Every structure is written in C-alpha cells, then in structure tokens.
Homo-oligomer: A and B are copies of this chain.
Amino acid sequence: MIAKHYKEMLNGKSVIRELFGYATERAKEIGEENVFNFSLGNPSVPVCDEFTKALIELLEKEDPIKLHGYSPTLGIPAVKKIVAKSLQKRYDLPYTEEEIFMTSGAAGAIAHAVRAVTCKGEEVLTFAPFFPEYAPYVNSTGGVLRIVPANTKTFQINFEKLEEMINLNTAAILVNSPNNPSGIVYSTDTIKKLTNILHRKAKEYGHDIYIISDEPYREIVFEGVDLPCISKHYDNTIVCYSFSKSLSLPGERIGYIAVNPNCKDAKLLIQMCGQISRGIGHNCPSSLMQYGVAKVIDKTSDVSVYEINCNILYEELVKLGFEVVKPDGTFYIFPKALEEDANLFSEKAKKYDLMLVPGDSFGCPGYFRIAYCVPTEKVKRSLKAFKKFVETEYPNR
C-alpha cells in the first residue's frame, strides 16, 4: 500500500523551496539580474581548474573498467588513504583508511552516522539555529531530533538549555560549525564547555555520547577566525564532511565520514557503515568523483569572494540598524528581523525583490537568513534595495 507517511510529508511546505520558486518566476518578469535571490546555499564560484583537469586526465588515461568499476562498500581504498593522510597531517591525529567511509555528500554521511550510534527512540540533540533537513535526517532513522534553543546573543551554544535537555536517552549531539544559517564558528571555549558536559554526562549515564560534527563549511572561514578541531577535544567524534561547498561540487554528492582514530570504536563504526549502506541503497559515491577529489584533496575553489560579500552586507545591515552577529565563515548571515514575525518581514522584502528566508524553519523565529553566495556586484546592487525596503516599510525605527 502507498506509504502514508511519505505521502503526508508532501503536504509540508518548504519555505526555502517556495521562495526559490517565486524568485524563478519573478526573474522571468523582470530579468534574473534584478532579482536578489538570497534563498539558496548554492556555491557561486566554480570548482578549481585542477579538479576539471584531473577528471579529464582520468577519463583520457585510466582504464575505464577500473575507473568506473564497483567501489568497495566503504570506499576506494587508495582514495580513503589520501583522505586519511590529509586529515592526519592537518590535525595531527593518527587517521588511517580504516577510520574513513566515503559518502554521498554530508547528507549521506549523516544518514550513516546517526544510524550507527542511535538506537530506536534515542535522542539526538542539535542547537538552533540549525539546518532544517536535520529533522528528516534523524527522525527517519527511528531516533528523535530535539532542538536546544538558540543563544541569540552570540549564536554560540545555549548551555543552560543544553543542561536541561540532555538526559539518559541522549545518544548524540549534532553540531554544525561553521554554522548554517548563522555563519558562526563555535569557539574553543564553547567546544571545551560542550565536551566537558558530555564527558560528565557520559560518565553519569554510563554510556558513550557521540558528537556528530557536520562540517561542510570547514574551508570557508574568515580572516582572524580560529576553527577548533572538535576531534582534538573529544574522542567520540564522527566528522561528516562534504566537498559540496569547499570545491563547489554540490551536485556530485561526494563526501566522507571520518571517525576520530582515538574513539575506541572507530573501526567498528566504519565497518557498521557498510552494513547501514545495504539497507538505504547508498552503495558509495561515484567512483570517478572519489578519484577526482583525491587528486585535489587539499585544494578549494576560490572561496575568498564569500568574505568580501559578507563584509559588504554586514556593514550595510549595521548601518540600516539591524541587530546582527558578524559571521565567522560560510556564506550565510542571520540578522534579526525588523518585526517580530520574520515571515511577514520576508514577505514584505519580496516587494523589493529581496529573497530572505525567515528563521522559523531554522528553529529561530524572528531572524532571517541571507545566502550571499552570489556575485559581489549583485550584493552591491542589492544594498539600494535593502535601504529602500527598510526606509519604506519600517520608517519609524
């Protein structure tokens, strides 16, 4: 019989998708260049040339039977070795290929990580503001996602609420730093406080609590910001990485899980990922993409444009009177709306062809997200629209 549950999910509105749909229609009317579409987190810079060259060389020179052949369930060993070596060098942690599992992007990684460390009915905590897809990612495993309310002052962790919500049933903490949508990096101080709590609670409850660290924005960190390596602070850390943002390859679905080699069950968890794959139809990312990213493992696209865009927007938003925490990285900024209901605020912004995503679906009502992964000249042109929007709609502020 048709699965009711999935049928009913179709009734759920995605605000981002609707906004994107509206922007597409509007672009047909007034031209794409006149729509300030800040709705989607799609990288706006091309992949580095080295990647394209590497793929062409593989296609021209490699035996196609090997190049396109079955990858072992855990990933191509030679690729996993290169990933491990890169992580080892960068973080001074003893990674080997046995702690690496190649995945279809971060979504594939999280799908495996949550299943590996959560039994039915157990809880995964995450911190608002958070990526809305975490809800289906976790809830479809039989686990339960619970949201720790935001610390809107800094968008660091709200520890008071965390202490209230963590309990015997907590299996894992899902962390996303640099954060979508706030752009904030959790400081070393935050990570220390978090891992201290987890150590204490794990001892109290008599079972491990895992950190699942979703790190697609790891390579997009702005000047002067220090991005702490969570695995250095906490053994039971499962890193979920994607090359989508760092190499501008979101459509290629390529990433990996790296379990901290100091986690006592690291090798077991990776082996388990192979079993989890069988039930969800995962069977590895594309073999060509695995070979391709291995060739440029320490390279990124030219992501410097995102910091330029951020600075332009941040300055103007402050000037216009917005309350806003300056991002440490990513290509998002998450200011407070100028009225209580960010949905109404975003609706009004559409009149000025500004596509701004209200914060409700990120678990943080009253705020809104700007995805500034667009050309800098467009960010500059949008400033006038922001000014007009604010002065017309909120004249008495």
Contacts and interface: CB of A to CB of B under 8 A. Distances in A.
Interface of A: 1-4, 6-7, 9-10, 40, 42-47, 52, 55-56, 59-60, 63-65, 67-71, 103-105, 107-112, 115-119, 122, 133, 136-137, 139-141, 171, 207-208, 248-254, 265, 268-269, 271-272, 275-276, 278-289
Contacts of A122: 1
B69 A279 contact: no
A251 B69 contact: yes
Contact of A7 (B107, B250, B268): B268
Contacts of A271: 10
Nearest to A292: B288
B104 A283 contact: yes
Nearest to A250: B70
A286 B289 contact: yes
Contact of A70 (B103, B251, B281): B251
B137 A3 contact: no
A10 B272 contact: yes
A249 B68 CA distance: 5
A73 to B, nearest CB: 9
Contact of A43 (B65, B208, B268, B284): B65
A47 B287 CA distance: 14
Contact of A140 (B46, B70, B248, B278): B278
Given A47-B64, A282-B104, A252 B1 contact: no
A64 B105 contact: no
Nearest to A122: B1
A279 B107 CA distance: 9
Contact of A119 (B1, B71, B278): B1
A288 B108 CA distance: 18
A388 to B, nearest CB: 29
12 contacts: A2-B117, A7-B272, A9-B278, A43-B65, A43-B69, A68-B252, A103-B281, A105-B281, A108-B281, A133-B278, A140-B280, A252-B288
A139 B279 contact: yes
Among A71, A286, A289, the one with the most B-chain Cβ atoms within 10 Å of its Cβ is A286
Given A2-B117, A46-B64, A68-B250, A281 B104 contact: yes
Contacts of A65: 43-46, 248
B52 A59 contact: yes
A59 B115 CA distance: 36
Contact of A10 (B2, B112, B275, B281): B275
Contacts of A250: 68-70
A108 B283 contact: yes
Contacts of A265: 2
Nearest to A73: B17
Nearest to A287: B251
Contacts of A281: 103-105, 107-112, 137, 280, 282
Contacts of A56: 56, 59-60
Contacts of A45: 65
